[in-house]
Each structure stands twice: as structure tokens, then as C-alpha cells.
Amino acid sequence: MAGLQWRKVRRARLARPRAAAMMAGGAGRVRRAGPGGRMTTIELTLAIAALLITPGPTNTLLAVAGAERGLGRAMRLIPAELAGYLTTVTPLALLGGTLEAGAPELRPVITAVAALWILWLALGFWRKSTAGDGGDGDAAPAVTAFKVFVTTLLNPKALIFGFALLPAGASLPAAFVNFVVQIVIVATLWAGFGHLLRRADGSRAGLPAWFYRLAAAWLIIVAVLLGWRVITG
């Protein structure tokens, strides 16, 4: 009986490490299979959409372009927005951690430059509203592909997309495809919004001055908020 009892105790002692190892391995597998900071496709899609559709400098330009040119011609500016976003977001998504660690001043510098650029855009819109161009249907449009590209290149949203959102997806290539598709959709919506405002106003010969002034006022608010973020850190 004593021998039998000893064998049972010995087997129990040998079984404990194996059980502990299995439990540890199982826990490790559960942790690796869990979120781990990654977002599901639905979560990523909603996050990208929420940030893209938020009124900002690029969306303001697209709304003005839709009002100036109509929806069809304003959509020709979408490739400029895509180029601007991808130029900034791609290196940030691929090398974001390295860039941020090696150049911590990158964010405030980009934000400060963006604030100055947006102020310059606002000044241009305000000048156009007071120069009588709003009533001239043949006047050069206030929004160009170059302005859309540079504005998007410096858009603070790009920092969030590149540093945080896209790398959080389960697959970076899939996250980029998701991003590009939503850029096209949201840009079309904003251009369409501007076109509808133009039709609702009933003006057929250029844009009314209030439209440019409204766009300028909003851009000034955005620029001030960005500048305040730089000052306060």
C-alpha cells in the first residue's frame, strides 16, 4: 500500500510541471490570438470613416470645388487628395515608430506648417470674396489640384492615419486599400455637398461672397486650433 501511495504521489508531482506548462502555453496562445492592439476590419473601417468625414481643410476645399465646378469636375481633384495622403501616410505607417523615436519634433513641426498653410488658404478665400470674383462665372477657380495636394499632404489627419490607425489593422495592405476606397467615397460626398449648396443658393454666375467667407472663417478656426496645439504641446 505504501508503495502504491508513493507511486501516486510521484505521478502527481511529475504531472504538475506538465500541467503548468500546458496552462502557460494555452494562456500564451490566447494572448496571441486576442486583440493585442489590433483592430478588426469593421473597427478600422469605422475609425477611418469617422476621421475622414470630419470637417477639415481638405474637405473644405472639396466642398468649395464642388460649388465652383460642379460634382463631376470637382471629382477630378480626388487623385490630388489621394497623392497627398499617401505621400505622408505611407512612410509614417511603415516607419512610424522609428521616425517618431528619432525625430520627436516631427509632429509639432508638421502641425505648425499646416497651420500656416491653412491660414494662407483662408486669406485667399477671403480675398476672393471681397474682390468681386464670386459673381464672375469665368473667374479662375479658388481650388486647384496643387492646393488640394499640399493641404492634404500637411493635413494633421494624416499623422493619425499613419502613426495610429493603419498600423493597427490586422493587415497593412488591406488597411491601405480600405483607406483609399474611403478617401474616394468621402471626397465625393464633400464635393457633392458643396454642389448642393451651390444649387440651393440659386446662383448661376459664380459663387456668392458668403460661401468663400464661410470657408475662410472655418479654415481660420482650424488653423488657430492647430497653432494652439503646437503651443500647448
pLDDT single digits (tens) 162-214: 988 999 988 999 999 999 999 999 999 999 999 998 887 665 556 778 888 99
Q: How far apart are CA 69 and CA 32, in angstroms?
A: 51
Q: Is the pTM of this model over 0.85?
A: no
Helix axes 145-153, 78-102, angle to 10 degrees: 20
For the chain, give every domain's residue range: 1-34, 39-232
Q: What would the grid cell of residue 76 be?
A: 477630378
Q: How far apart are CA 125 and CA 133, in angstroms?
A: 10
Q: How far apart are CA 86 and CA 113, in angstroms?
A: 18
Map grid coordinates 528619432 to a residue: 102
- Assign 114 a pLDDT band (cuts: 50, 70, 90): very high
Q: Which of 21-25, 64-68, 105-109, 182-186 has the lowest mean pLDDT?
A: 21-25
CA 173, 174, 179, 184 torsion-angle sign: positive
How many CB atoms lie under 10 A from the CB of residue 53?
14
Q: How far apart are CA 121 and CA 117, in angstroms?
A: 6
> Which residue in 38, 220, 45 sits closest to 116, CA to CA?
220
CA 127, 77, 80, 229 torsion-angle sign: positive
Q: Please give the C-alpha separations between residue 141 and each of 126, 136, 181, in angstroms, as whole numbers.
A: 14, 10, 27
CA 42, chain centre distance (Å):
16
Average pLDDT value over all residues in the chain: 81
- Assign 26 a pLDDT band (cuts: 50, 70, 90): very low
